[in-house]
Amino acid sequence: MQRLWSWLALLLVVAIASGCAHPITMNPDLAAISGDKSAVIPKSVGYHIPESAKALEVTTAGGGGDKVRYFPYRDIEPGFYKALGEAFGSVTRVQDPRNAAAVAGSGIQLLITPEIRTISSSESVFTWPPTQFTVDLSCTITDAQGQAVDVIRVSGYGRAEFDEFKANFSLAAVRATNHALNQLIKALTESPKLRR
């Protein structure tokens, strides 16, 4: 019987130790998001992130058997808006892309819908914050009539060691988001399809 209790206690400790999902954010450093002003595409664009996407909480791997949780779409939106503003003449948030009259009436020439995927990991068995983070950002771009124009895909990578993330447990995620958004600006401004 004592052996059974020992096993149960061990299982409980393992479950508690490995079951944590710590909150972090992917909020980018807006000062780090910038593009080449001479490459701006002189078009008005809108973007749409559904409310359901903003409410989506994602859980991925951290260190020490723990996990981290965050809201990719909600966290990235301010940086996404800034990135689009660095690539295009003007940017508008679109509430309902299915309302063709409202989209056309707003003067938007292109509509951008992002899709985000993330991966995190850590080489540490003693600390929970991720040391490596990846943000895969795919943007489907249509014209005001809903016709496909282009799909832009970029990835951002962030790394943070223990000495760096002691003051910011989200550092690897922030770096990955910054990198992805700067890559997005570059990819958008280099797309010939978006300049037509």
pLDDT at residue 17 is higher than 80: no
> How many domains are contained in the chain?
1
Higher pLDDT, 163 or 120: 120
**Residue range of the domain that includes 155:** 2-195
CB neighbours of 47 closer than 8 A, spacing ≥ 6? 80, 81, 84, 91, 92, 93, 94, 111, 112, 113, 114
pLDDT at residue 74 is higher than 90: yes
Q: For the segment 176-189, what is each residue's pLDDT rounded down to a tens digit?
A: 999 999 999 999 99
Over residues 4-29, mean pLDDT: 66
Give pLDDT, residue 2: 65
Mean pLDDT of the chain, nearest integer: 91
Count of Cβ atoms closer than 10 Å to residue 45 Cβ: 22
Residue among 184, 187, 190, 10 at smallest CA distance from 83: 184
Buried b (16+ CB within 10 A) or exposed e, 78-111: ebbbbbbbbbbeebbebeebeeeeebeeeebbbb
Rounded to two decimals, what is the model's pTM?
Answer: 0.89
pLDDT at residue 125 is higher than 70: yes
Q: For the segment 59-71, what is each residue's pLDDT rounded down to a tens digit?
A: 999 998 999 999 9
Residue among 139, 138, 136 at smallest CA distance from 118: 136
Give pLDDT, residue 102: 83
Backbone angles phi and psi of 50, in degrees to 5: -60, 150
**CATH label of the domain that carries residue 161:** 3.40.50.10610
75-84, 164-173, 177-186: the lowest-pLDDT one: 164-173
Residues 61/67, Cβ–Cβ less than 8 Å: yes
Residues 127/119, Cβ–Cβ less than 8 Å: no
